[in-house]
Amino acid sequence: MDANTLLLGLVVLTALAFDFTNGFHDTANAMATSIATGALPPKAAVTLSAVLNFAGAFLSLQVAATIATGIVDSGAVTVTVVFAGLVGGLAWNLLTWYYGIPSSSSHALIGGVVGATLIAAGAGAVKGSGIVANVLVPALLAPLFAILVATLGTYLVYRITAGVPGRLRTRGFRLGQIGSASLVSLAHGTNDAQKTMGVITLALVANETIGAEDGTPFWVVFACALAIGLGTYVGGWRVIRTMGKGLIEIESPQGFSAEGSSAAVIFAASHFGFPLSTTHVCSGSIMGAGVGKRLAEVRWGLAGRMVTAWLVTLPAAGLVGALAWKGTDLIGGAAGVAVVFAAAVVFGAGLYRASRRAPVDHTNVNHEWTGTVVPTREPVK
Amino acid sequence: MIIDFDALWKVLVAGLAAGAGLVAVYALGLVALAARAAPGPRHAATALAVACFAIVGAGAACGLYVILAG
């Protein structure tokens, strides 16, 4: 096996690992509210979401072999830059998962690539205005839009159904929640798996394994669909807990209006070509569902910490991406990539082991929120 | 600056119409369902419930079409 094949193999593996974390990090977006309100049992929720993510990945009609378009100079994106960018995104995804913070996987990947490009090709290859327009402004607007839509939706829902008997209301909205959460899951598979497909296709083209005009090979589509589906199934329970229990105490009418708002904003953004992050939209919708119900409480301190994490995503993933590129470059060649890959594996394994010391899983995800991701005591019956 | 304000307000309007609007229509459907259980004419309530859920279903189908075709 020559150096190029090894390099390509490691890049593909890293991309699939990123896709996997993309899946489990974002399970919460679609399913946190359904799990919190009891619309679906936790295991059933992640299974449904996983199947829809898997199916959604196959439904993406065109895979663009581009990464961070309009943000970095496409000529500067080498296979090593892609690899370092993936490592940056991967590291940030794992770290935020450990702390139970929902953060955008796309922004993490973009951050990693920007960081790697900065150090590999210099500041000239990074388009500052592109970062503002495609990353920073959407990161601020997405939650605001979602809060607005979900606040109005929640207010209307409670106003309209005030006279509906409690049992019918709860059951009706739980059903609606399952439907709207399914839409969000499907859209997630369609959008996010496509990004990894694009990254792998790009690496294959750069390595001249396939021609620039060739479509994405089927095995790439299948592997990406499988990775995001499996990741979703494993479930990022820590993030699910923060979104479902941490932000607000959620009832099924709120869960329904939050997921409905998320689905609508995501679909609209995707249709009109405005790059909103699913994570930012879904978090905003849940906050809005808290604002829209009278006397409901939104834990703004936690919301503030989340927004801070969103603003830090780009520089933090960028820093790791830059370090990963530098490390790869210093050691050189396939050996450099292998060493950085090994370091990433060690980092991931370390966080996994740390998480096992106080696990959050389907058994305790709904325990009463006492200010921490890991439940501090048994639920009050 | 290359922020696409045109796309921006379209996202907001479509998001409000579909996100808050369809959610409200669904709620209206539940009200109609509850009215069916009450004494009085049931046909009107049934028709309203069916209409509401059909509108919501059509909205979801439209959304799916939009992301899959786009």
Residue-level pLDDT at A381 = 46
- Determine, for residues A270 and B15 on separate chains, whether the beta-carbon distance falls below 8 Å: no
* Domain contains A374: no
- Which chain B residue has its CA at the smallest distance from A170's CA? B30
What ipTM describes this predicted complex?
Answer: 0.92
Q: Would residue A49 count as lying in a domain?
A: yes
Shortest Cα distance, chain A CAs vs residue B27, angstroms: 6
Q: Give the closest of B19, B26, B63 to A261, CB-based.
A: B19
Residue A376 included in any domain: no
| Residue A321, domain member (yes or no) | yes
Q: Is residue A367 in a domain?
A: no
Contact A79, A14 (CB under 8 A): no
Pairwise CB contact (< 8 Å): B15 & A150 = no
Other beta carbons within 10 angstroms of residue A380's beta carbon come to: 6
Domain-located, residue A372 = no
pLDDT at B2 over 70: no
Both structure tokens of A48: 């449904």
Contacts of B32 in chain A (CB under 8 A): none
Residues of chain A with pLDDT under 70: 1, 60-68, 377-381
Q: B48: distance to nearest CA of chain A, Å?
A: 14
Percent of chain B at pLDDT exceeding 90: 54
Strand-pairing partners, residue A126, are A72
For residues B60 and B63, give the distance between their C-alpha atoms in angstroms, rounded to a whole number: 5
> What's the structural domain count of chain A?
1
How far is the C-alpha of A374 from the C-alpha of A364, rounded, in Å?
Answer: 9
Three-state DSSP class for residue B58: helix
Instruction: Give the tokens for residue A233.
Output: 């199934």
The CA–CA distances, whole Å, from A183 to A208, A281, A319, A339, B61 equal 37, 14, 35, 40, 10
Neighbours of A296 (CB within 10 A): 16
Please judge whether B19 and A133 are an interchain contact, meaning their C-beta atoms are less than 8 angstroms apart: no
pLDDT of residue A74: 78
- Evaluate whether residue A267 is within a structural domain: yes
Chain B residues within an 8 Å CB radius of A292: none
Asked if A268 and B10 come within 8 Å (Cβ–Cβ), the reply is yes
Q: Within chain B, how many helices (H) and strands (E) appear? A: 3, 0
Structure tokens given for A225: 């669909």
Residues of A in contact with B70 (CB under 8 A): 270-271
Q: Do B3 and A130 touch (CB under 8 A)?
A: no
- Which structural domain range is residue A172 located in? 3-357
Whether A369 maps to a domain, the answer reads no
The set of residues, in sequence order, having a beta carbon less than 8 Å from that of A73 and lying 6+ positions away, is: A117, A121, A124, A125, A126, A127
Q: Which of A87, A130, A136 lies closest to A107 in space, CA to CA?
A: A136
Q: How high is the mean pLDDT of chain B?
A: 87
Residue B60 C-alpha, separation from nearest chain A C-alpha, in angstroms: 8
Residue with tokens 């995707």: A270
Sort out which chain A residues have CB atoms less than 8 A from B68's CB and list them. Answer: 59, 61, 190
Q: Which of A318, A322, A325 is nearest to A340 (CA)?
A: A325
The 3-state secondary structure of chain A reads CCHHHHHHHHHHHHHHHHHHHHHHHHHHHHHHHHHHHCCCCHHHHHHHHHHHHHHHHHHCCCCCCCCCCCCECHHHCCHHHHHHHHHHHHHHHHHHHHCCCCCCHHHHHHHHHHHHHHHHHCHHHECHHHHHHHHHHHHHHHHHHHHHHHHHHHHHHHHHCCCCCHHHHHHHHHHHHHHHHHHHHHHHHHHHHHHHHHHHHHHHHHCCCCCCCCCCCHHHHHHHHHHHHHHHHHCCHHHHHHHHHHCCCCCHHHHHHHHHHHHHHHHHHHHCCCCCCHHHHHHHHHHHHHHHCCCCCCCHHHHHHHHHHHHHHHHHHHHHHHHHHHHHHHHCHHHHHHHHHHHHHHHHHHHHHHHHHCCCCCCCCCCCCCCCCCCCCCCCC
The pLDDT of residue A316: 96
- Check CB contact under 8 Å for A267 and B1: no
b/e code A127-166 from CB counts within 10 Å (16+ = b): beebbebbbebbbebbbebbbbbbbbbbbbbbebbeebee
The β-bridge partners of A72 are A126
**B34 at interface of A, judged by CB pairs closer than 8 A:** yes
* Residue among A10, A298, A276, A52 at smallest CA distance from A144: A276
Cβ–Cβ contact B58 with A under 8 A: no
- Averaged pLDDT, B4-14: 86
**Predicted confidence (pLDDT) per residue in B17-53, tens digit:** 999 999 999 999 999 999 887 777 788 899 999 999 9
